[in-house]
Amino acid sequence: MIDLNFDVLHDRRNTHSLKWDQFKDRIKAKYNVHDADDILPMWVADMDFAIPQVITDAIKERLDHPIFGYSYVSDACKQAINDWHEKRYNWSIDPKSILFHQGVVPAIATIIETFTEPGDKIGISTPVYPAFFNIPKAQKREVITCDLVDSENGYEYDFVALEETFKSGIKVYILCSPHNPGGVVWSQNDLEKLVQLCIKYDVLLISDEIHADIVFDGYKHIPTLTIKDADKAKIVTCIAPTKTFNIAGIHAAMMVVPNDSLRIKLTQNLQAHGLGEINLLASAGVQAAYEKGEDWLEAMTQYISKNMDYVVEELNKLDGISVTKPNATYLVWIDYRKTGISEDEMMQRLLVKGRLAIEPGTKYEEAGRGYLRMNVACPFETVKDGVERFKKALS
Ligand SMILES: Cc1ncc(COP(=O)(O)O)c(C=O)c1O
């Protein structure tokens, strides 16, 4: 089948792609790199693969009807959301508990706005996806960070340190599960401890599970809402098919909120801003993805896993570079601390000498200093090119 050929090189230039087009302005402003046409972008988290044909077909089918009037998310779409999670994670999602939003980031913004006031403390474990601190800061909340511990097997929680963060009076803790940028699938034990802390300190838990579906053999994502005592905690879980199927541009996400009182408050706040709907093409895409996208996902995950193996093997040959294969995501977290190279110099080398755009670690908070994040959701040929450019930058 044509859509299962992940080797195809799609030219994404001049498609208003953040990754392929807009990055040039960003690096011009930040790193003073002007001539960027031949720089290979392996940064923002979307894929260079064609999306599953079943999603394109569903959107086309809806386009064939000539009227795009007001619409609502169908019961069949909600059923597809439930079936996917029930089958893959043994997690049954009551359609009543689903609230829709334009994305996980806007959902996090709404949750924080609903349940906290300016000046309130929000806890996060760093390094982590930038919206986790940028959104609360933009809403004038105080962000309390607690660093994850970088062990041989990747990041781990230090629960003693984390409890201090909870004791400091945080109102909300934002969990990234699986973790971006570290690619960790949190264990049952980790999640149980986290839920218990939230109960003990009466902290609202936002569980961002956007990366749940891309998990490698030997690991299993566990939805936070299926953890022991989850019903005793205040939890809002954010899910979306957008990372899984490379459809971030359709803008769709779900908040799963079984707790009635939390859901009522969130619904009221969504209504206060005229939010809570997704558009009719997004809803056709979400439904098709969850109903028919699984084969594509399985094949894509295998492909990425091989890309990962290659990158890990090649980069680990370089002096001072250390990379562990992540448990999940298509993001490789590269530790270059032992090279002694500063972040500014590393970015200059990568962009100017290597002609490669990957993410500097401090984008994920100070705890990310000395690391880089590389996106390997692209054809193997591109991955090989990226690795060669990385080597050149360090030579
Ligand atoms: C952890 C995490 N949450 C949310 C998002 C973005 O979500 P959305 O595009 O639905 O706003 C990303 C994108 O990389 C992410 O890594």
pLDDT given at position 25 = 84
Q: Is 286 in the pocket of ligand 1 (CB under 6 A)?
A: no
In the chain the first and final C-alpha atoms are separated, in Å, by 41
Q: Which helix (H) or strand (E) holds 166?
A: helix 159-167
pLDDT given at position 35 = 85
Average pLDDT over residues 32-40: 88
pLDDT of 2 higher than 50: no
Residue 329 Cα to ligand 1 midpoint, Å, equals: 12
Residue 336 Cα to ligand 1 midpoint, Å, equals: 25
pLDDT given at position 3 = 53
pLDDT given at position 186 = 98
Q: Is 45 in the pocket of ligand 1 (CB under 6 A)?
A: yes
- Characterise 171 by phi-psi region: left (phi > 0), alpha (psi -120 to 50), beta (else): alpha
Average pLDDT over residues 109-124: 98
Determine how many CB atoms are found less than 10 A away from the CB of residue 163: 16
Taking all residues of the chain, what is their mean pLDDT, rounded to a whole number? 96
Q: Which residues contact 14 (CB under 8 A, 6 or more apart)?
A: 21
User: Which domains are delineated in the chain?
Assistant: 2-51+294-394 (3.90.1150.10), 68-278 (3.40.640.10)
Higher pLDDT among residues 193 and 24, named by residue? 193
Residue nearest to atom 13 of ligand 1 (CA): 45
Among 18, 44, 133, 180, the mutation site with the greatest number of ligand 1 atoms within 8 A of its Cβ is 180
Residue 104 Cα to ligand 1 midpoint, Å, equals: 6
Which amino acid appears at position 284 of this protein? A
pLDDT given at position 29 = 81
Average pLDDT over residues 59-78: 97
Tens-place pLDDT, residues 212-269: 999 999 999 999 999 999 999 999 999 999 999 999 999 999 999 999 999 999 999 9
Q: Is 144 in the pocket of ligand 1 (CB under 6 A)?
A: no
Q: Is 208 in the pocket of ligand 1 (CB under 6 A)?
A: yes
- The closest-lying atom of ligand 1 relative to the alpha carbon of residue 242 is 10
pLDDT of 101 higher than 50: yes
- For residue 371, list its beta bridge partners: 335
Determine how many CB atoms are found less than 10 A away from the CB of residue 325: 14
- The closest-lying atom of ligand 1 relative to the alpha carbon of residue 253 is 10
Q: Is 104 in the pocket of ligand 1 (CB under 6 A)?
A: yes
Tens-place pLDDT, residues 154-182: 999 999 999 999 999 999 999 999 999 99
Q: How confident is the model at residue 296 (pLDDT cuts 50, 70, 90)?
A: very high
- Characterise 218 by phi-psi region: left (phi > 0), alpha (psi -120 to 50), beta (else): left
Residue 105 Cα to ligand 1 midpoint, Å, equals: 6
Least confident piece of the model among 12-21, 292-301, 370-379: 12-21
Tens-place pLDDT, residues 305-345: 999 999 999 999 999 999 999 999 999 999 999 999 999 99
Euclidean distance between CA atoms 105 and 81, whole angstroms = 19
